[in-house]
Amino acid sequence: MTILKLAVRNLLGGGMKSWLNAVVLSLAYVTIIWTQGLYQGMDQQVSRTMIDAAVGGGQYWVEGYDPYDPFTLQDAHLKLTGILEELAQSREAAPVLIVQGTIYPNGRVQAALLKGIDPEQKVLMFPSSFLKDTDSEIPALIGSRMAQMTGLRTGDTVTVRWRDVHGTFDAQDLQIVQVMATSVQTIDIGQIWVPLKKLEEMAGVENEATIVIVKEGLVQADDIPGWTFRDLDFLLQDIKQIVRSKTVGASIFYAFLLFLAMLAIFNTQVLSIFRRRKEIGTLMALGLTRGRVIALFTVEGALHAILAALIGAVYGIPLLAYFVAKGWPLPAGTADSFGFALSEKLFPTYSGGLVVGTTVLVFIITTIVSFLPTRKIAKLKPTEALRGRLS
Amino acid sequence: MDDSVLIRTVDLVKIYPMGDQKLIALNRVNLILRKGEFAGLVGPSGSGKTTLLNIIGSLDSPTQGSAEVLGEKVETLSHRKAAELRNKHIGFIFQTFNLLSVYTVYENVEFPLLLLNLSPSQRKKAVIAALEWVHLADRAKSKPPQLSGGESQRVAVARAMVKRPDLVLADEPTANLDADNSHHILDTMEDLNRELGTTFLFSTHDQKVIEHLRRKISLVDGRIANDETVGDENRRKRP
């Protein structure tokens, strides 16, 4: 209790110096929590966007379908029956037929996946409604990246060639009715969305699909003959992997920030001991044992961490709350560079675990780095300390 | 040991290694100091005054011989026991005051009592009394940088005396003070010695201090060259 009282006196008596140390340390607290919150937010945002726009609550895949192997597409379609048909009719599931095709934009040849989707679907937050009630023979919807890659714009027509289920090649012009702005690259790059019924006609099938996307919250994990259910863990694994790799980078940054903050504290403590060696000698002469001197300096360091946490809370909470509400705008054009669906604004999320964990971690490390230099005091002779020397 | 004996050194030797050489700071010092004395170690710089004072104060240990302070042999004391001896029984006054600059005058004087785990009311009573002895009760809230040299040393005296120690060790206490302040401080210490019976041992070569001493122990090259009791007729008269 005495040591704590003395440490508080020293801290408060230190005036500007104490406040400056605490403010610097508080910057480390807030920056660490802020950056980690951004990555947590990114993780959640990416998952959310993918669920909303691409994967829904899970998908049934026709057996043999492999999105990474276009050759599987030829046979990857099956008639909707039973529960899948019921779900599709009640719009709790969105069947998607996928056909390999080739387009010829501006005299070039480019492979594209033709994806047929019900314009009235309610499963995905996807602008499929542009595909209904148009005068076009084959209305098509593409993403902004696809538009950029092909040079196609709304209103343009482009020839598409595909092979139907009988192995016959056919070709026709389709018209771009809308270029959608989406952050989800998996529904954008290399893909052309057309009405499901139209694609069924083109492919020579009826009421068939390659995948069936079920509505979020609708748990349909039962096996259906000919179909395999893919849950969100499976469908988001690539994205999660990328986010994890980004998080590793963030963790290195986190450790670096923590290291810098600790270096500052360590340096402050070393300087403090050097500068206060005469005071240490006086404390020893007045009857403080070496152990209690070490405890005093260590508690002083720990109090810096507590003061820093309080200061950090004063300006950090409003600052972080602002970013939670308003988001953090990414520099123009950088959203695509992350390799996954990211909107132009990042909305950080700060969990209790992150805030408490960071605070406790910084507190513990600050206490340790406060303790380390004070071990030197244990070797100090009172007479040498009083003369202002360090042995 | 005679109950009145506070300090007894027997063949006390202190040697400092200086590279390949050895510096003999104290050479077979034999000294007895009794309770209530107002004595001083007198001699030029390098004569061993501060070394002897440090050993008696258990801040340092002898190379050979024995130093018994309040019944404790300094050479055998652990760090913890030495700290306890200083905390409970010995007050220090330093040449450069050594006040804790971030503390107020009150907190500086209170510091030794915090280590003794006294209650807040006991501490307050003792601190106020100590500040009144040195006539600084009105500066209780000031901080050391706001004090003059004389005031700072009076705070140091109050800090040394607040726990009513058996022994006060004062190392060149007037070296940084002018004549008026020096005599004022010494008068205060003499009063405390007389009123409370506290034993004072000075280390000094300042004539102003020497004029106040009732016993003068002269050190030369680490040896006691002379040890004399000074009669009141040879001591400084108060104005």
Average pLDDT over residues B34-57: 94
Q: Are residues A105 and A201 in the same domain?
A: yes
Residue A133 lies in a domain: yes
Residue B202 lies in a domain: yes
Residue where one domain finishes, among candidates A174, A196, A230: A230
User: What is the pLDDT confidence band of residue A52, given thresholds at 50, 70 and 90?
Assistant: confident
User: What is the pLDDT confidence band of residue A347, given thresholds at 50, 70 and 90?
Assistant: confident
Q: Is the pLDDT of residue A10 over 60?
A: yes
Selected residue of A5, A278, A289, A387 to mutate for chain B interface (largest B Cβ count, 10 A):
A289
Residue where one domain finishes, among candidates A180, A212, A230: A230
Residue B53 lies in a domain: yes
Rounded Cα distance, A373 and A365, in Å = 13
Q: Are residues A181 and A306 in the same domain?
A: no
Least-confidence region, from A167-181, A224-238, A243-257: A243-257
Q: Residue A374's domain spans which residues?
A: 2-52+239-386
Pair A74, A100: CB distance under 8 Å: yes
Residue where one domain finishes, among candidates A183, A203, A230: A230
pLDDT digits (tens, 9 = 90+) for A297-328: 889 888 988 999 999 999 999 999 998 888 88
Average pLDDT over residues A275-304: 89
Is 0.90 surpassed by the pTM of this model? no
Q: Is the pLDDT of residue A341 over 70?
A: no
Do the bridges between strand B199-204 and strand B167-171 make them parallel or antiparallel, or are there none, so unpaired? parallel
Q: Domain containing B207 — which CATH number?
A: 3.40.50.300
Q: Concatenated DSSP letters for A229-282?
A: EE-HHHHTHHHHHHHHHHHHHHHHHHHHHHHHHHHHHHHHHHHHHHHTHHHHHH
User: What is the pLDDT confidence band of residue B239, given thresholds at 50, 70 and 90?
Assistant: low
Rounded Cα distance, B64 and B11, in Å = 7
pLDDT digits (tens, 9 = 90+) for A64-119: 899 888 888 888 888 988 888 888 888 889 999 999 999 999 888 989 999 999 99
Interface of B with A in 94-123 (CB under 8 A): 94, 98, 100-103, 107, 111-112, 114-115, 117
Any CB–CB contact under 8 A between B238 and chain A?
Answer: no
Residue A391 lies in a domain: no
Residue B50 lies in a domain: yes
Q: What confidence score (pLDDT) does residue A336 get?
A: 53
Q: Is the pLDDT of residue A161 over 90?
A: yes
Q: Which residue has the tokens 């340096």?
A: A267
Pair A193, A128: CB distance under 8 Å: yes
Q: Which of A341, A329, A264 is nearest to A48 (CA)?
A: A341
* Alpha-helix residue ranges (DSSP H) falling in A175-236: 196-203, 232-235
Residue B239 lies in a domain: no
- What is the three-state SS of B104-151? CHHHHHHHHHHHCCCCHHHHHHHHHHHHHHCCCHHHCCCCHHHCCHHH
Higher-scoring residue by pLDDT: A372, B125: B125
Q: Are residues A321 and A245 in the same domain?
A: yes
Q: Are residues A265 and A376 in the same domain?
A: yes
User: What is the pLDDT confidence band of residue B11, given thresholds at 50, 70 and 90?
Assistant: very high
Average pLDDT over residues B222-235: 85
Q: Are residues A183 and A129 in the same domain?
A: yes
Q: Are residues A326 and A247 in the same domain?
A: yes
Q: Is the pLDDT of residue B124 over 60?
A: yes
Q: Is the pLDDT of residue A123 over 90?
A: no
Rounded Cα distance, A305 and A293, in Å = 19
Any CB–CB contact under 8 A between B87 and chain A?
Answer: yes
Q: Is the pLDDT of residue B42 over 80?
A: yes
Domain tally for chain A? 2
Q: How far apart are the first and last CA of chain B?
A: 40
Residue B89 lies in a domain: yes
Average pLDDT over residues B85-107: 93
CB contact under 8 A, B100 and A289: no
Q: Are residues A292 and A345 in the same domain?
A: yes
Q: What is the pLDDT of chain A when averaged over all its residues? A: 84
Q: Are residues A295 and A377 in the same domain?
A: yes
Q: What confidence score (pLDDT) does residue A331 get?
A: 66
Q: Are residues A226 and A79 in the same domain?
A: yes
Q: Is the pLDDT of residue B21 over 70?
A: yes
Q: Are residues A183 and A259 in the same domain?
A: no
pLDDT digits (tens, 9 = 90+) for B74-95: 999 999 999 999 999 999 999 8
CB contact under 8 A, A285 and B84: no
Domain tally for chain B? 1
Q: Identify all chain A residues contacting B83, using CB atoms and an 8 Å cutoff.
A: 284, 287-290
Residue A316 lies in a domain: yes
Q: What confidence score (pLDDT) does residue B220 get?
A: 95
Rounded Cα distance, B204 and B4, in Å = 24
pLDDT digits (tens, 9 = 90+) for A186-232: 888 888 999 999 999 998 888 889 999 998 877 655 678 889 898 88
Q: Identify all chain A residues contacting B115, using CB atoms and an 8 Å cutoff.
A: 2, 286-288
Nearest CA distance, B182 vs chain A (angstrom): 22
Q: Residue B84's domain spans which residues?
A: 5-234
Q: What confidence score (pLDDT) does residue B35 get?
A: 94
Residue A261 lies in a domain: yes
Q: What confidence score (pLDDT) does residue A314 get?
A: 95
User: What is the pLDDT confidence band of residue A40, given thresholds at 50, 70 and 90?
Assistant: confident
What lies within 8 Å, CB to CB, of A22 at 6+ separation is A304, A307, A308, A311
What lies within 8 Å, CB to CB, of A249 at 6+ separation is none
CB contact under 8 A, A386 and B94: yes
Average pLDDT over residues A368-391: 78
The rounded percent of chain A whose pLDDT value lies above 90 is 20
Pair B159, B140: CB distance under 8 Å: no
Higher-scoring residue by pLDDT: A34, B225: B225
Complex-level ipTM? 0.91
User: What is the pLDDT confidence band of residue A126, given thresholds at 50, 70 and 90?
Assistant: confident
Q: What confidence score (pLDDT) does residue A319 get?
A: 92
Q: Are residues A145 and A122 in the same domain?
A: yes
Q: Are residues A225 and A345 in the same domain?
A: no
Rounded Cα distance, B81 and A374, in Å = 21
